[in-house]
Structure 1
């Protein structure tokens, strides 16, 4: 099945919920051919229900971005079925809440595998096809890829790596006609927040020297996410980048995300960021 040329064939990761789900639905509504992927197809019900409600057809496939064979197979299957690949939205991700003294190196490595190396693997597999269509490479980062945040060391490290990778790749890819964009949401109301690798009902290690600061951070985070942007709104921002003029390299999904990122981008010595984040620890 080859789509009409005015449509885009777009491969999206992490579509079982949140931003990825809503980006897939919005892209489908816009008339694009959407290959919507997720690590476990048993979690596809919410996406299938949303697609049915929106009256859009999606090509739903399994993709674990940490498995090289899975990445290669999905890209090959997309080309075989749809004839080309016009855009990739790297959205799959996982969080981790904690500080390194209470974590293991393997904990950090696992976060890097999903959030960074998964992005690298799919980008590498997709680029030859995106060159052929002069396509778009869109990666959902985070304001946590701009400003390091307490107790998010592994997650922010991975998102910083994504931003450095994409910022370095962008001018090279542009010479082959491929545009590169990183999307930086702020607080978004989604199940991602509930899956950050820590059950807030469980206590930390005995005599944890950071216990009070962590509780202060969690209280502040709860307030922040109480007024979070909806996943639907953020997903629609992502999907909109598929159409029209080629987007900027860096795109925030809300006014609050723009204001937050602006603190770092005008903070040459880092003192403003340190004052701001230190205040979150009470």
Structure 2
């Protein structure tokens, strides 16, 4: 596999996904990304420029994700790294105040979205080798009050990855990996409005995260419970 293999990332229109996409592209990797907002997809497409693929789609739509996988191979080649990053959260509230439709939406994006990515892209990795990474959360390992839906979703992702890691052959690795420290994104502002600004921004975080994905994670055994190292800040 080329050292500049294609990288697939869901949810690239903002936050951590966008920052990782730009950083991988800066390092010479063709990036295949997706997002739900056509306007934001167009913006990311313009920033990345030629040699990349950014599609407008919802990761809970399995047919759209399969078509995206086929387009990725056709335009960029087989990926060496697939990152299921797209996520959803809601403002903190007691679980009895969370409408079932909202609970279902959080579960769909965070859990079903990981499975649609696995279903579409993992067969490509089985052929050529590589890594599949589901972005998790510390709240998927330690429950967070007033965020029961998000906590449940990320606990599910951790368990799902643990099972899938036992199914794949040795030339494929599967991880659930969470930021060691929170990242100042729109999602964090939604659930931690008073303190989100005290954490590193996504561009700062992505430099350390992408380096970890490229150079450290491939040497670790598959499974959940992994963490992106916190960025080292300059004093």
Q: TM-score range by the shorter chain?
A: 0.7 to 0.9
Q: Deviation at 1:146?
A: 1.2
Instruction: Tell me, yes or no, if structure 1 residue 252 matches structure 2 residue 228.
Output: yes
The whole-number CA distance in structure 2 between the counterparts of 1:22 and 1:91 is 11
Q: May I ask how many residue pairs the two structures share in their alignment? A: 225
Task: Work out which of the residue numbers 63, 68, 71 in structure 2 matches 1:69.
Answer: 63
Superimposed CA distance per residue, residues 68-102 of structure 1 (whole angstroms, 9 cap, x where no aligned partner): 11111100111122231221111100102322211
Q: Deviation at 1:31?
A: 1.3
Q: Deviation at 1:237?
A: 3.4
The whole-number CA distance in structure 1 between the counterparts of 2:166 and 2:16 is 27
The whole-number CA distance in structure 1 between the counterparts of 2:61 and 2:187 is 21
1:32 is matched with: 29
2:20 is matched with: 23
Contact 1:41 1:62 in 2 (8 A): yes
With the length of structure 2 as denominator, give the TM-score of the two structures.
0.86
Instruction: Tell me, yes or no, if structure 1 residue 146 matches structure 2 residue 157.
Output: no
2:205 is matched with: 234
With the length of structure 1 as denominator, give the TM-score of the two structures.
0.72
1:208 is matched with: none
Q: Deviation at 1:183?
A: 2.0
The whole-number CA distance in structure 2 between the counterparts of 1:241 and 1:8 is 16
Cα RMSD (Å) of the superposition?
Answer: 2.3
Gaps of at least 5 residues in structure 1 are 197-217, 257-282
Q: Deviation at 1:41?
A: 2.1
Larger Rg: 1
**Runs ≥4 residues deviating over 4 A:** none
Q: Deviation at 1:247?
A: 4.6
Summarize the Cα distance change of 1:150–1:182 in structure 2 as closer, same or farther, 3 Å threshold: same
Summarize the Cα distance change of 1:241–1:138 in structure 2 as closer, same or farther, 3 Å threshold: farther
Instruction: Tell me, yes or no, if structure 1 residue 128 matches structure 2 residue 128.
Output: no
Contact 1:183 1:238 in 2 (8 A): no
1:243 is matched with: 214
Superimposed CA distance per residue, residues 109-165 of structure 1 (whole angstroms, 9 cap, x where no aligned partner): 110000011101111111110111211111211111111111110011101100111
1:117 is matched with: 112
The whole-number CA distance in structure 1 between the counterparts of 2:102 and 2:63 is 23
Contact 2:41 2:56 in 1 (8 A): no
Superposition pairs of residues 192-203 of structure 1, within 5 angstroms: 192-195=187-190
The whole-number CA distance in structure 2 between the counterparts of 1:74 and 1:113 is 19
Q: Secondary structure of 1:222's match?
A: coil
The whole-number CA distance in structure 1 between the counterparts of 2:80 and 2:120 is 13
2:7 is matched with: 10
The whole-number CA distance in structure 2 between the counterparts of 1:96 and 1:247 is 35
The whole-number CA distance in structure 2 between the counterparts of 1:103 and 1:242 is 35
